[in-house]
Amino acid sequence: MTNGGETAGRAFDLNAVYQNQSVTIVPAEPRDVLILRAQSDAQSQRLRDWQEFIQFAALLLGLLAVAGLCVWKGMFDPAASPEAQRLAQVVLTAIVSGSFSFLAGRAVGRAGSSR
């Protein structure tokens, strides 16, 4: 039974237990492997960044093409039926409002992350 640092009438000294112990910290991997892994991670991140940029550019070009077609069909095509003109205006409205909400969301996200 433990009572105030004594065990069955004997004093228990923690300093004596850990007197000859030492702690050493060594890296989990050699320095050259660490450097190579960091360079590889940086290259992978650059590749992901370019892939995201290309996807964004393709999406933007697609949206611009659809928006241009809607503007032409809704305003300048003399042979377009009234239904086609209304549909073109609806799609153009959706593209414009979606673009504004995307930009506003990015602006709010930046403002919220700086706190």
pLDDT per residue as tens digits for the range 23-42:
788 888 888 998 999 999 99
In tens digits, the chain (115 residues) has pLDDT values of 455 555 566 777 777 777 777 778 888 888 899 899 999 999 999 999 999 999 999 999 999 999 999 999 999 999 999 999 999 999 999 999 999 998 899 888 877 765 5
Separation CA 105–CA 78 (nearest Å): 38
Domain ranges of the chain: 2-113
Q: Does pTM surpass 0.85?
A: no
**Confidence at residue 114, expressed as pLDDT on a 0 to 100 scale:** 58
For residue 88, count CB atoms less than 10 angstroms from its CB and return exposed for 0-12, middle for 13-18, buried for 19 or more.
Answer: buried
